[in-house]
Amino acid sequence: MSATVLYTVLSLTGIGLLAAVVLYYVSKKFQVTEDERIARVEAVLPNTNCGGCGQPGCHAFAEAVVKSGDLSALHCPVGGNPVMKQVAEVLGVKAVEKDPYIAVVRCSGSFEYRKKTNVYDGAPSCAIAAQLYSGDTGCAYGCLGMGDCVVACDFEAMYMDEKTGLPVIIEDKCTACNACVKSCPKDILELWPKGKKNQRIYVACLNEEKGSTARKECAVACSGCAKCAEACRYEAITIDHNLATIDPDKCKLCAECIDTCDVRNIVATNFSPEKLQQASEHRQKREERERRKREEEKAQATANNNPEPTV
Amino acid sequence: MKNRAFDKELKTFRLGGVHPQDNKLSASAPLAQLPLPKQVTIPIIQHIGAPAKVVVQRGDTVKVGQVIAQHEGFISSNIHASCSGRIGIIEEVMDSSGFKHLAVNIRVKGDDWLETIDRTDTLVEEISLSRDEIVARVMEAGVVGMGGAGFPSHAKIKVPEGKTIDTLIINGVECEPYLTADHRLMLEKPREIIVGVRILMRALGVSRAIIGIEDNKHDAIELFDEWLREDKQIEVQPLEVQYPQGGEKQLIQAVLDREVPSGRLPADVGVIVHNVGTTFAIYEAVQKNKPLVERVVTVTGKDVKQPSNFWVRIGTPVIELITAAGGLPESTGKVVSGGPMMGKAIADLEVPVAKGTSGILMIAQAETKRAEEYNCVHCGKCIEACPMGLEPYRLLLLSKAGQSEKSKRENVLDCIECGSCSFVCPSNRPILDYIRLSKTKVKKLK
């Protein structure tokens, strides 16, 4: 009896030792040496694995930055500049500052403004509805309202507003990871520079129909009337396919265009009402000056063309 | 003496299939001419391939049969004026696809046809054109597959180089419930269809043609059998009633027991399939010089006052057909263009009838409403029902997870979108919706 126990213990110990030796040599022989900086970079990253940087995950991002050693093309949108600064410190290179972005909803067609013309009865997914037909309202460009973007968001930074039927972005939580942008079949969501003092201006409409048609489909659709483009001093607003688009790189956030829009569809985020009022007055004064100047010039021109007859 | 059709054994395809109630309410309604509408709106893309190019301008006067949009390339199709009158606005309008496409509006005035078109009912049996002339004539007439797919017919009757076709199959299956357009056409124009078959045989250079008809259309089988008694080349094959037998690949399997390999065409197994509606249109194009300006449309539904089969000019607003059949029933939940299995609900009753519109179906709200969706219970019914041998439940999961690469490996592109899986699912899962999404994504992968 005791002999059996002894043999068992001895043989198992023997096998254990042998295995330990084999494993030791195998681990030495086939050791994969990873650049230890990868682990250090990964430690400072947010580790959300959202894919917003374009890499499959945070580890892949760490590998990519260590491999390239250059931070101009690689940027973690979730961590933003502070995290990229830490990454730069780990690698001993110069940090590249990038303006933070945020997702914006480029549709204002709430239930109130955009009436339903039919009832969608398919699977509750925007992607599926979008390939079946142009949507349950007259507008073929607007939000379908089934919230594929909310499902795609990993940061709980979005919700569907039940009153308007449109998605809302929670400013503090949005990391500009691009997941919602990719999920939207109508391209309603767009990454926009977060802007100085968190202020930004954009046109919340994508309807490219002719003005009259667009307004029939949605009461607040952009008709491409170009009043905003005329008011802009920086040529930041272009009209293309009956639709006004603001170029965020050119926009100086002067907010003078806001009240030129008949349907108030130029969204100005985080502007105080006083500032908007001021901007409006400023614009009106400027236009008044320009108008007077034009009239004077015209009068001058008429005077020059018809010189008074000399006697 | 040749075997009578009824002595033959009923054939069907081997894999999957379902048996929806056939509800052929309009089977006894003879073909009737729909009164000319006040205006027609003709989309310039009603086919697979390149859109046609508009060659008329607002204000022009056109006659019936005049080309209003010219084909662009070989896989494209001519579009003709289906009514005479003055060209109205040319703009993007919603069509039965659910999207806006460029369309030509015609304000109808009189019924003035081009003189070159033979509008008499006399049967012309003598086929005087050569193979190439037939292809050219069919191309000129803008004939496309009228079963719904809308593939330009001239491209299908020109045998691809390096391939030999030995059999022509004529699809008289009409396996979709409710629809009777092909059935009525077979009953009322059998001899024209037979001449159409001979034209196709000449164009393809084949000596054998089989007309496949499902067993629920006894009268049509009998009629064709009678007319083809002395014919050694064309035969009628009765088929068991099973959906989706009208699918090209299913029909080939049922009739000839040949399987079209994944990603290949019927021509690869020596077969070409044409629908009876298309065959009739080809007869008219070749023998009567008549372009495709009208088609048979079934207007039906359980609560519809007079389920009917109309000759309808292309571009007629759907609402006109509904009015002619007794108006929109109050119970209506969805108006579907096509049959209940593969058809598509339309979002606007003003959409025009296109070359591929085989029926307008009004389904009651109680019948059509999507039932609540439950979790998959892995019963395997969808796998049993799939006529293409796919695993629909798995394709649904892969689609939801966005795994396009894996879906591609699971041959999602083989799906013919017959809807059998969604039809049998006891958990009411929207399987086909997700498979379609997956197909779109997989096509983008390439």
Could you tell me the mean pLDDT of each successive run of 10 residues in chain A, 311 residues long? 90 96 93 87 90 89 89 87 90 87 93 90 92 90 94 93 94 91 94 90 93 91 92 93 93 91 92 92 91 90 72 53
User: The tokens of A281 are what?
Assistant: 């007055």
- Does any CB of chain B come closer than 8 Å to the CB of residue A140? yes
Q: Is the residue at B61 inside a domain? A: no
Class of residue A201 by CB neighbours under 10 A (exposed 0-12, middle 13-18, buried 19+): buried
Q: What is the ipTM of this complex?
A: 0.88
Q: Is the pLDDT of residue B335 over 90?
A: yes
Dump pLDDT digits (tens) for B307-328. Answer: 999 999 999 999 999 999 999 9
**Are B429 and B334 in the same domain?**
no
Dump pLDDT digits (tens) for B384-422. Answer: 999 999 999 999 999 999 899 999 999 999 999 999 999
B348 and A131 within 8 Å at the Cβ level: the answer is no
pLDDT at B148: 75
Decide: helix, strand or coil at residue A309: coil
- Does any CB of chain A come closer than 8 Å to the CB of residue B349? no
A127 and B437 within 8 Å at the Cβ level: the answer is yes
* Minimal Cβ distance to A121: which of B97, B370, B434: B370
How close A117 gets to chain B, by Cα (Å)? 8
**Are B120 and B197 in the same domain?**
yes
User: The tokens of A227 are what?
Assistant: 């009043």
User: The tokens of A60 are what?
Assistant: 């892949």
pLDDT at B162: 85
Q: Is the residue at B102 inside a domain? A: no
Domain count, chain B: 2
Dump pLDDT digits (tens) for B84-117. Answer: 999 999 999 998 888 999 999 999 999 999 999 9
Dump pLDDT digits (tens) for B49-97. Answer: 999 999 999 999 999 999 999 999 899 999 999 999 999 999 999 988 8
Q: Residue range B343-372: average pLDDT? A: 91
A128 and B370 within 8 Å at the Cβ level: the answer is no
Q: Are B213 and B185 in contact (CB under 8 A)?
A: no
A118 and B94 within 8 Å at the Cβ level: the answer is no
Residue B284 or A52, more confident: B284
Cβ count near B426 (within 10 Å): 11
Q: Which amino acid is at B323?
A: T
DSSP-assigned states of every residue in A54-118: SSSSHHHHHHHHHHH---SS---TTTHHHHHHHHHHHHTS-------EEEEE-----TTTS-BSS
Calculate the CA B100 to chain-centre distance: 21
A125 and B437 within 8 Å at the Cβ level: the answer is yes
Chain A residues within 8 A of B318 when measuring between CB atoms: none
pLDDT at B3: 67
Dump pLDDT digits (tens) for A134-147. Answer: 999 989 999 999 99
**Are B364 and B390 in the same domain?**
no
DSSP-assigned states of every residue in B382-440: HHHH-TT---HHHHHHHHHTT-HHHHHHTTGGG-----HHHHH-TT---HHHHHHHHHH
Per the prediction, chain B carries an average pLDDT of 93
**Are B307 and B209 in the same domain?**
yes
**Are B297 and B410 in the same domain?**
no
Band the pLDDT of B198: cuts 50, 70, 90: very high
Q: Which contiguous run of DSSP H or E holds residue A296?
A: helix A273-305
Q: Are B214 and B180 in contact (CB under 8 A)?
A: no
What distances in angstroms separate CA B259 from CA A38, A282, B253, B262, one per listed residue?
A: 54, 76, 6, 9
**Are B185 and B119 in the same domain?**
yes
A133 and B99 within 8 Å at the Cβ level: the answer is yes
Chain B residues within 8 A of A117 when measuring between CB atoms: 347-348
Give the residue among A204, A239, A242, A241 at the shortest CA–CA distance from A223: A242
| A100-194 CATH pick, 3.40.50.300, 3.30.70.20, 3.50.50.60, 3.30.70.3450 | 3.30.70.20
Ordered by start, the domain boundaries in chain A are 36-91, 100-194, 196-295
- Does any CB of chain B come closer than 8 Å to the CB of residue A125? yes
**Are B280 and B194 in the same domain?**
yes
Q: Which residues of B24-51 are buried (b: 16+ CB within 10 A; e: fewer)?
A: bbbbebeeeebebbebbbbbbbbbbbeb
**Are B215 and B330 in the same domain?**
yes
Domain with residue B358: its CATH number is: 3.40.50.11540
pLDDT at A68: 87
Class of residue A256 by CB neighbours under 10 A (exposed 0-12, middle 13-18, buried 19+): buried
* Minimal Cβ distance to A118: which of B347, B368, B369: B347
A134 and B370 within 8 Å at the Cβ level: the answer is no
- Does any CB of chain A come closer than 8 Å to the CB of residue B430? yes
Q: Is the residue at B233 inside a domain? A: yes
pLDDT at A307: 63
Return d(Cα B291, Cα B284) in angstroms, integer. 7
How close A119 gets to chain B, by Cα (Å)? 8
**Are B129 and B202 in the same domain?**
yes
**Are B326 and B386 in the same domain?**
no
Q: Are B318 and B351 in contact (CB under 8 A)?
A: yes
pLDDT at A310: 57
- Single residue among B319, B342, B369 that ends a domain in this structure: B369
A134 and B98 within 8 Å at the Cβ level: the answer is yes
pLDDT at A305: 78
CATH code assigned to A36-91: 1.10.15.40
The tally of CA atoms less than 13 A away on the side-chain side of residue A169 is 27
Decide: helix, strand or coil at residue A34: coil
* Minimal Cβ distance to A131: which of B94, B370, B440: B440
**Are B346 and B402 in the same domain?**
no
| Domains A100-194 and A196-295 alike in fold | yes
> SS3 helix, strand, coil % of chain A, rounded to 5?
40, 10, 50
What distances in angstroms separate CA B292 from CA A81, A229, A256, B139, one per listed residue?
A: 64, 49, 57, 10
- pLDDT above 90 covers what percent of chain B? 84
- Single residue among B308, B338, B369 that ends a domain in this structure: B369
- Single residue among B369, B398, B428 that ends a domain in this structure: B369
pLDDT at B228: 92
The domain of B211 spans 1-31+113-369
B347 and A128 within 8 Å at the Cβ level: the answer is no
pLDDT at B159: 84
pLDDT at B367: 86
Show the beta-strand stretches assigned E in chain A: 101-105, 158-160, 167-169, 189-193, 200-203, 237-240, 243-246, 266-269
CATH architecture assignment, domain A196-295:
2-Layer Sandwich (3.30)
How close A186 gets to chain B, by Cα (Å)? 13
- pLDDT above 70 covers what percent of chain B? 99
pLDDT at B53: 93
Q: Is the residue at B304 inside a domain? A: yes
pTM for the model stands at 0.87
B433 and A133 within 8 Å at the Cβ level: the answer is no
Q: How many pairs of residues across A and B have Cβ atoms under 8 Å apart?
A: 43
Quick one: DSSP state of residue B11?
B
**Are B285 and B417 in the same domain?**
no
Cα dihedral A37, A43, A48, A51, rounded to 10, equals -10
Dump pLDDT digits (tens) for A228-246. Answer: 999 999 999 999 999 999 9
Q: Is the pLDDT of residue B231 over 60?
A: yes
Phi, psi torsion values for B255, nearest 5 degrees = -80, -45
Cis before A124 (ω within 30):
no
